[in-house]
Amino acid sequence: MTPSAQHVRSAAVVLVAAALCGCVQPVRIAPTAAVLTTVAVPGCPPVVIKPAQSALIDFTDFVVHDGVTYSSRPERPQTSTPKQLGPELFRVSCTFSKLNEMTQSKLPDATEHSAGYIPAQSPVFEMTGWPAACRLLAQHDGAWYVYVATIETGDTSMYNECGLERSRPTAEAAP
């Protein structure tokens, strides 16, 4: 063996021995900052998507109009009929359950004319015999639903009394 070949062989043995004993430092790759992506869906507020985080939310059935959130009673959703339709007030701009399904991210607060389940571009109506400030009607999943105005009380919300008056007509009491 020539002296240069012996020198190369000795260097290789030293490197292998160093690697086996932990003397050689591993190559360190600097961590890269997570890239945030913003998703814009027409009619919906922008959603910031953070890598490695996801959020699937189980929404209540709601709609927002004139800054008031109206909810379909989750413990006993009240259905209605087209006979109780008043004038059309607006069309839904964003369906939050679909937005969350698309982005799987935490969503911003509900915006004007957004809804939990009413499809985007669907009409929302006044309910005959009720002020629009108290009850609204909309259709989704093949049925007409009554939405009662809510009042925010800190961490919870409660129904506005005007939407709960028992002397008013409902689909259950209507002929």
173 inside domain: no
140 inside domain: yes
- Are the C-beta atoms of residues 161 and 130 closer than 8 Å to each other? no
14-39: pLDDT as tens digits: 444 444 444 444 455 555 555 677 77
23 inside domain: no
pTM: 0.65
61 inside domain: yes
Reduced to 3 states (helix: H, G, I; strand: E, B; else coil), residue 127 is strand
139 inside domain: yes
121 inside domain: yes
Reduced to 3 states (helix: H, G, I; strand: E, B; else coil), residue 105 is coil
pLDDT more than 90, % of the chain: 23
Q: What is the pLDDT of residue 27?
A: 52
22 inside domain: no
73-107: pLDDT as tens digits: 666 777 788 889 999 999 999 888 888 887 777 77
**82: which 2 tokens?**
């087209």
Give dist(CA 32, CA 154) in Å, integer: 40
| Residue 149 domain boundaries | 52-163
Domains: count for the chain: 1
Question: Helices H, strands E: what count in the chain?
Answer: 2, 12
Indicate the range of 63-67, 107-111, 123-127, 155-159 predicted with least confidence. Answer: 155-159
The DSSP annotation for 34-77 comes to: PPPEEE--TTS--EEEPTT--------SEEEETTEEEE--TTSP
9 inside domain: no
